[in-house]
Amino acid sequence: MKTIKTAILLVTVLSLALVWAQDAPTPGTSLHLAALLGDLAAVQQHIEAGTNLDQKDDFG
């Protein structure tokens, strides 16, 4: 019985982790390109997805 409860708990936790990971997908446009183009929706998606806003591209 303890094994079944443990398995159910594990499946529940993993399912929630997958749902949370899919809530804020990273857009296909890079953060730098989105900012350059003024694509505020893509920039907001990057922020929500937890993109490192201090990352550097090839141009600094």
pLDDT in tens, 29-54: 888 888 888 889 889 989 988 888 89
What band does 24 get if pLDDT is binned at 50, 70 and 90? low
Whether residue 9 lies inside any domain: the answer is: yes
pLDDT of residue 4: 86
Asked whether residue 55 is domain-assigned, the answer is: no
Q: In the prediction, which pLDDT does 31 show?
A: 87
pLDDT at residue number 30: 86
Q: Which domain holds residue 26?
A: 2-49
Please indicate, yes or no, if residue 39 is contained in any of the structural domains. Answer: yes
Q: Inform me whether the pLDDT recorded for 23 exceeds 80.
A: no
Whether this prediction's pTM lies above 0.85 is answered by no
Residue 27 counted as domain residue: yes
**35 is a domain residue:** yes
Query: What is the 3-class SS of the chain, one letter each residue?
Result: CHHHHHHHHHHHHHHHHHHHHHCCCCCCCCHHHHHHHCCHHHHHHHHHHCCCCCCCCCCC
Split into its structural domains, the chain has a count of 1
Task: Examine residue 58 and state whether it is found in any structural domain, yes or no.
Answer: no
